[in-house]
Amino acid sequence: MIARREIVVLGATGSIGDSTLDVVGRHPARFGVAALAAHRQWRKLATLCRRFRPRFAALLDPAAAALLERDLAGAGVPTQVLAGDAGLCAVAALPEADTVVAAIVGAAGLAPTLAAARAGKRILLANKEALVIGGAAFMAAVRSGGASLVPLDSEHNAIFQCLPQGYAGVPQAAGVRRILLTASGGPFRERPLAELARVTPDEACAHPNWVMGRKISVDSATMMNKGLEVIEAHWLFGVPAAAIEVVIHPQSVIHSLVEYLDGSVLAQLGNPDMRTPIAQALAHPDRIDAGVPPLDLARAGPFAFAAPDHARFPCLGLAYAALAAGGTAPAVLNAANEIAVEAFLAGRIGFTDIAAACAHALDAVPAGPVHALDDALAADAAARAVARARLGIAAATAAGEG
């Protein structure tokens, strides 16, 4: 008899939301959907509510929530609709749910993910930005709330699988020497450097191996994504930056590796399909079908590995620098990056301006200590203002989907 898990999906209309609900839909006896939440894409959420019949749906945008509510009432779907930050945080802490998939993109995911942490949920974390901003304070909220974190990010999920069962966040005690994070190098790994200033948003979003949301796709093209993942790995696994190495592996089949003191290196392999780490995390410690075809090693290889080129990918070095500076610096880096990526996707700045804006924000907003999350949030706000001023853009236009 399998205990049925009740799931909340934050970011249900996005790429991770799609993959999560695909896996959930394959196992109706194992998983129920307690709540679905998103920004303002009410038509897509209405379709998902018709299919999964959650008790609650939440949209950040109140006008979109009203349209969703009317649509569902008209169709006789018994889902209660909530709105705003309070609605998102309420579904994240829903008493009848045990598992929360944190898949909102960017800093916007921090408050609801924290609500899930404080409510003691099993958090399946895709929203790496929340951890980058919150750092030690976020991890403290997880511990004091009695919550647990299972990484969905493919690299961190791979590391989770390569570490010993019950790993308690102390690498020395587990005999771990290093963590090796693999990176594809994105669409511009071999593009002449002189052309990078002129690449378009669509080129940046055309990832060679993964289909993802536009923000993380741009982050993959700059390798800021890998930089954020270094910071994410530091907090998730208690490993110092000096023991986290990034390796370019263009095939995206080896999702990351753990090196032990005896020289053993354990890797997790699989087709580049997020349904694999999602299914692993949803069912853990069981294993379930994810709908992913078996890996054909003869066709997947040959595998290549290389050190990252820091001149091509300055964002990676900025992330290591922010982690070394500590305190509020990772929050500053993340906030400046969010502003710059949004401006790049809107066609307002060039690709290479992203790294320049991030470097400028790290210089302009001095790193301070994070005693509480408010310190990180204040640094986030300061960095957004600095980045907007640098890039010559006005404050707070709503980003994203319609």
Where does 126-215 show beta strands of DSSP type E? 148-151, 176-183
Tell me how far, at minimum, the Cβ of 240 lies from ligand NAD, in Å.
Answer: 23
For position 69 contacting Mg ion by CB under 5 A, the verdict is no
Pick 116 or 125: Cβ nearer Mg ion: 125
Distance CA 393, CA 386 (A): 10
**Residue number, 154 or 217, with CB nearest to Mg ion:** 154
Collapsed DSSP state (helix, strand, coil) of residue 228: helix
**First vs last C-alpha separation in the chain:** 42
DSSP code for 306: B
In the complex with ligand NAD, which residue's Cβ is closer, 217 or 390? 217
State the binding string over 80-119 for ligand NAD (x if CB under 6 A, else -): --------x--------------xxx--x-----------
Judged by CB under 6 A, how many residues of this single chain contact ligand NAD? 29
Count Cβ atoms within 10 A of the Cβ of residue 302 and give its class: 0-12 exposed, 13-18 middle, 19 or more buried.
Answer: exposed
Q: Does 323 bind ligand NAD (CB under 6 A)?
A: no
* Binding partner selected for residue 16 from ligand NAD, Mg ion, none, CB under the kind-specific 5 to 8 Å limit: ligand NAD
127 binds ligand NAD (CB under 6 A): yes
11 binds ligand NAD (CB under 6 A): yes
| Nearer Cβ to ligand NAD (213/270) | 213
Residue count, binding to Mg ion (CB under 5 A): 3
CA distance 31 to 97: 10
| Site track for Mg ion across 147-186, x = CB under 5 A | ------xxx-------------------------------
Exactly one of 123, 124, 126, 258 binds ligand NAD (CB under 6 A); that residue is: 126
Binding site partner of 12, from Mg ion, ligand NAD, none, Cβ cut-off 5-8 A by kind: ligand NAD
For residue 306, give both structure tokens: 């290389």
Query: Count of CB atoms within 10 A of residue 372's CB?
Result: 10
- Could you tell me how many helices (H) and strands (E) the chain has, helices first? 16, 11
Question: Which of 7, 8, 17, 236 touches ligand NAD (CB under 6 A)?
Answer: 17
* Binding segment (CB under 6 A) for ligand NAD, from list 12-20, 93-101, 324-332, 365-373: 12-20
Nearest to 250 by CA among 160, 185, 158, 198: 185
Q: Does residue 49 belong to the site contacting ligand NAD (CB under 6 A)?
A: no
Going 319 to 360 to 125 to 343, the CA torsion angle's sign is negative
Side-chain half-sphere exposure of 34, counting CA atoms within 13 A = 20
Strands (E), 23-108: 31-38, 56-59, 80-83, 99-102
Residues that bind ligand NAD (CB under 6 A): 11-17, 38-39, 41, 60, 88, 103-105, 108, 126-129, 153, 210, 212-213, 215-216, 274, 400-401
Residues that bind Mg ion (CB under 5 A): 153-155
